[in-house]
Amino acid sequence: MNNKTTLRHDWQRDQIEALFELPFNDLLFKAQSVHRQYFDPNTVQISTLLSIKTGGCPEDCAYCSQSAHYKVELEREKLLPLDQVLSEAQKARANGATRFCMGAAWRSPPGRDFPQVLEMVEQVKALGMETCMTLGMLDDEQAGLLGDAGLDYYNHNLDTSPDFYGDIITTRTYDDRLDTLGRVRDAGIKLCCGGIVGLGESRQDRAGLLQQLANLPEHPESVPINMLVKVEGTPLSNVASIDALEFVRTIAVARILMPESMVRLSAGRTEMSDETQALCFFAGANSIFYGEHLLTTDNPAANHDQLLFSSLGIEPMSL
């Protein structure tokens, strides 16, 4: 693919806001044009996400059902045994997933459980799948050990803009998140880093989030864009929903700013119509989570995704 867009890491906020302000058709045409320079427009990567340790997290993220600060209908669970994780990974592979993502509700991984986490990485990789973990904040040693175990991706989202962040989370700072991203990079692990829209943030905040991601020293290889899933009992359970076309705009701007990255439709797809998802794929999304659950929230049934892909002429991406 020739004449590729030059990768930039110096985006100004007003430049990103100007992209959001483009007429919808112009924005999508620009995003699709960039997308075709780097990817087959009719293939989408399939990932599966498993909660390996659920609930009881000491963080106070206002959107999260797993926070110990809020009263939600969620049973706390200990770290899953290795054989159960491997069984789920084998099912995901049989259903077409090429990446297996494992998430634990921790502020940072406890030492007693870390050896088992490392073994999960090694054993899932032995199945021939890419591995991704999200375990909270990491220190240098933990990042190094995950890298030595062969972890492909580490997920650690920035969630929102630096300006709006304090309205959503108080138990860790924006710099805490950036520090973990730096440690992951230093350990030779690829980044899965994105955010959540529909938290009550402004368009300027959405631009601010994407600015932070695009101006990292290296763009995250995977950029999940989540639509808030409202959970009863959390502070954001009654926040106004984001407009579907504004969500599509966010996908399109992410594609333009980070041309080489996989842009993933993550949480919130159960609230999206097929038409909204189709527009997201046209805007440059080329990765989804496949399976009926995302950690603790619902996800479209696998057969529905298969029907949607068939109607759009989309094929699953292979390793």
The per-residue pLDDT for range 178-196, each reduced to its tens digit, is 999 999 999 999 999 999 9
Residue 192 is a catalytic residue: yes
Which member of 99, 183, 264, 269 is catalytic? Answer: 264
The per-residue pLDDT for range 45-66, each reduced to its tens digit, is 988 889 898 877 888 888 888 7
If we measure between CA atoms, which residue out of 264, 255, 265 comes closest to residue 31? 255
- pLDDT-based confidence at 298, cuts 50/70/90? very low
Which member of 99, 132, 183, 269 is catalytic? Answer: 132
Asked if 137 contacts 108 with a C-beta cutoff of 8 angstroms, the reply is: yes
The per-residue pLDDT for range 227-242, each reduced to its tens digit, is 998 888 888 888 999 9
pLDDT recorded at residue 268: 82
Per-residue pLDDT at 104 exceeds 70: yes
Per-residue pLDDT at 301 exceeds 60: no
Residue 64 is a catalytic residue: yes
Which member of 192, 255, 269, 280 is catalytic? Answer: 192
Residue 203 is a catalytic residue: no
pLDDT recorded at residue 299: 47
- pLDDT-based confidence at 250, cuts 50/70/90? very high
Cα gap 180→137, rounded to integer Å: 6
What's the chain's average pLDDT?
A: 90
Asked if 100 contacts 92 with a C-beta cutoff of 8 angstroms, the reply is: yes
- pLDDT-based confidence at 135, cuts 50/70/90? very high
> Token pair of 235, please?
């502070």
Q: Can you give the C-alpha Rg of the chain in angstroms? A: 18
- pLDDT-based confidence at 271, cuts 50/70/90? confident
Which member of 61, 183, 249, 269 is catalytic? Answer: 61
- pLDDT-based confidence at 163, cuts 50/70/90? very high
Q: What is the mean pLDDT of residues 75-79?
A: 79
Q: What phi and psi, each to the nearest 5 degrees, are found at residue 237?
A: -65, -25
pTM of this structure: 0.90
Burial of residue 179 (number of CB atoms within 10 Å: 0-12, 13-18, 19+): middle
Asked if 56 contacts 68 with a C-beta cutoff of 8 angstroms, the reply is: yes
pLDDT recorded at residue 66: 76
More confident residue, 4 or 206: 206
Which member of 101, 183, 206, 255 is catalytic? Answer: 101
Residue 193 is a catalytic residue: no
pLDDT recorded at residue 34: 97
